[in-house]
């Protein structure tokens, strides 16, 4: 039997090419594992409870992004967290035996209260303290043995392992201890050199057209000391170069020509835009197919059913070993 994977993303807005490496990694994992990919709308509420988010629209949008990059509903269950109530039930049961100190100790907890507090968000809430525990329930309700995540999520996976261990010790050995599969996420800056983010208006969207890609690449900050095209360039301070590293197989040649003043910024940018377009074009095409009326809805419906079936088996075992009534 294939090992299981669970991963999730918050539906906070349509994705940009900074998110691409994570998704491309998921696409590859689909062949090796039984995959569950969850749009974690409850998680979005843990920090965005005041924001009046249209989570339904945002969730559909992110599902479309996933499908256009190649998440394949024949292979993977794609579903919305809040449609599978077992996540909430397991979270509640876990909360009974989770020491407060374990949650307070999660490294992101105090940082985020502070950081988002500066943006005017009050995160001294029960839901925010408990969010890593909700994440543990997301993972363990599928008995996932591996969780593809970025480096920043490692403490959360560690907590999930501790929760699995504590449950197995207190009741019975129901849960495997999940492992983090840490994806290498190259940190791509936005076109202005700051962190890439939709809200800074410096991102290249996954849906960008050929023209939009060209426009964004033209905006990229290059070596400020390079004035004439045959001045020697410094790729290490150039945003364009960071993108070439990912999108251009002949990066070594480009860097050499740049340093020797043999290729000008205009030509260099044009070449990058073409290479980015080569990657995004097939995604745009696939997106059109999934955009037909009702298609995303039916993927989510099927994914939910598959997720529920697995989660409800786990919950029956959990209720039993905790001495509760079985299935409803
Ligand atoms: N906490 C993750 C984030 O903020 C999202 C997430 C929720 C998740 N549940 C998960 C990731 C389960 C992996 C597995 O990015």
Using the predicted structure, report yes or no on whether residue 313 has a pLDDT greater than 90.
Answer: yes
Residue 328 lies inside a defined structural domain of this protein: no
Rounded CA gap, 116 and 131, in Å? 15
| CA 168 / ligand 1 centre spacing (Å) | 23
What is the mean predicted confidence (pLDDT) over 10-37?
Answer: 94
Please tell me whether residues 42 and 91 are part of one structural domain: yes
Please tell me whether residues 16 and 116 are part of one structural domain: yes
Give pLDDT, residue 87: 98
Q: Tens digit of pLDDT for each residue in 239-260?
A: 999 999 999 999 999 999 999 9
Please tell me whether residues 204 and 178 are part of one structural domain: no
Give pLDDT, residue 191: 95
Q: Tens digit of pLDDT for each residue in 164-206?
A: 999 999 999 999 999 999 887 778 999 999 999 888 999 999 9
Ligand 1: does its nearest atom lie under 6 Å from the Cβ of 134?
A: no
Question: How many beta carbons lie within 10 A of that of residue 195, not counting itself?
Answer: 13
Average pLDDT, the chain: 95
Q: Which tokens belong to 304? A: 């939910």
Please tell me whether residues 65 and 176 are part of one structural domain: yes
Give pLDDT, residue 198: 84
Please tell me whether residues 32 and 122 are part of one structural domain: yes
| CA 148 / ligand 1 centre spacing (Å) | 10
Please tell me whether residues 231 and 85 are part of one structural domain: no
Burial label for 319, CB within 10 Å (0-12, 13-18, 19+), is middle
What CATH number does the domain containing 77 carry? 3.40.50.620
What CATH number does the domain containing 260 carry? 1.10.240.10
Give pLDDT, residue 151: 86
Question: How many beta carbons lie within 10 A of that of residue 257, not counting itself?
Answer: 17
Using the predicted structure, report yes or no on whether residue 234 has a pLDDT greater than 90.
Answer: yes
In the three-class reduction of DSSP (H, G, I as helix; E, B as strand; rest coil), residue 268 is classed as helix
Q: Tens digit of pLDDT for each residue in 68-127?
A: 999 999 999 999 999 999 999 999 999 999 999 999 999 989 999 999 889 889 999 999
Please tell me whether residues 167 and 239 are part of one structural domain: no
Ligand 1: does its nearest atom lie under 6 Å from the Cβ of 43?
A: yes
Give pLDDT, residue 326: 82
Residue 89 lies inside a defined structural domain of this protein: yes
Rounded CA gap, 171 and 165, in Å? 10
Rounded CA gap, 58 and 22, in Å? 19
For the chain, how many structural domains are there in total? 2
Top-confidence residue, 198 or 288: 288
Residue 181 lies inside a defined structural domain of this protein: yes
Please tell me whether residues 262 and 183 are part of one structural domain: no
Query: What is the position in ligand 1's atom list of the atom closest to the CA of 134?
Result: 9
Give pLDDT, residue 207: 94
| CA 73 / ligand 1 centre spacing (Å) | 20
Using the predicted structure, report yes or no on whether residue 328 has a pLDDT greater than 70.
Answer: no
Domain residues for the domain of 63 are: 4-187+295-322
Please tell me whether residues 40 and 156 are part of one structural domain: yes
What is the mean predicted confidence (pLDDT) over 40-51?
Answer: 95
Residue 327 lies inside a defined structural domain of this protein: no
What is the mean predicted confidence (pLDDT) over 124-141?
Answer: 97
Residue 192 lies inside a defined structural domain of this protein: no
Please tell me whether residues 114 and 258 are part of one structural domain: no
Residue 193 lies inside a defined structural domain of this protein: no
Please tell me whether residues 122 and 68 are part of one structural domain: yes
Top-confidence residue, 185 or 220: 220
Residue 227 lies inside a defined structural domain of this protein: yes
Please tell me whether residues 175 and 28 are part of one structural domain: yes
Ligand 1: does its nearest atom lie under 6 Å from the Cβ of 141?
A: no
- Residue 301 vs residues 189, 232, 260: alpha-carbon distances, Å: 36, 56, 56
Using the predicted structure, report yes or no on whether residue 327 has a pLDDT greater than 80.
Answer: no
| CA 8 / ligand 1 centre spacing (Å) | 5
Residues 6+ apart with CB under 8 A from 115: none
Give pLDDT, residue 239: 95
Residue 78 lies inside a defined structural domain of this protein: yes
């Amino acid at each position: 039997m294939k090992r299981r994977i669970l991963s999730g993303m918050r539906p906070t807005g349509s994705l940009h090419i900074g998110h691409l490496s994570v998704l491309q990694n998921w696409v590859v994992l689909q062949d090796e594992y039984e995959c569950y990919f969850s749009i974690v709308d409850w998680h979005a509420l843990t920090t965005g409870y005041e924001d009046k988010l249209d989570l339904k629209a945002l969730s559909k949008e992110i599902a479309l992004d996933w499908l256009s990059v190649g998440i394949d509903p024949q292979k993977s269950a794609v579903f919305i967290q809040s449609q599978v109530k077992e996540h909430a039930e397991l979270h509640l049961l876990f909360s009974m035996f989770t020491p407060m100190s374990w949650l307070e100790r999660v490294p992101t907890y105090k940082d985020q209260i502070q950081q988002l507090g500066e943006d005017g968000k009050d995160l001294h809430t029960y839901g925010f303290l408990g969010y890593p525990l909700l994440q543990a329930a997301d993972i363990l309700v599928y008995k996932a043995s591996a969780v593809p995540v970025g480096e920043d999520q490692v403490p959360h996976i560690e907590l999930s392992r501790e929760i699995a261990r504590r449950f197995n010790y207190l009741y019975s050995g129901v849960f495997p201890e999940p492992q983090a599969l840490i994806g290498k996420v190259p940190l791509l800056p936005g076109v202005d050199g700051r962190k890439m983010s939709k809200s800074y208006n410096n991102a290249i969207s996954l849906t960008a057209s050929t023209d939009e890609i060209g426009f964004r690449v033209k905006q990229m900050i290059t070596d400020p000391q390079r004035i004439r095209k045959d001045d020697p360039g410094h790729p290490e301070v150039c945003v364009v170069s960071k993108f070439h590293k990912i999108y251009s197989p002949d990066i070594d040649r480009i860097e050499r020509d740049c340093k020797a003043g043999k290729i000008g910024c205009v030509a260099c940018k044009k070449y990058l835009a073409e290479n980015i377009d080569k990657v995004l074009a097939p995604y745009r095409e696939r997106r059109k197919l999934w955009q037909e009326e009702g298609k995303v809805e039916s993927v989510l419906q099927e994914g939910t059913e598959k997720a529920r079936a697995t989660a409800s088996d786990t919950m029956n075992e959990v209720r039993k070993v905790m001495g509760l009534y079985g299935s409803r």
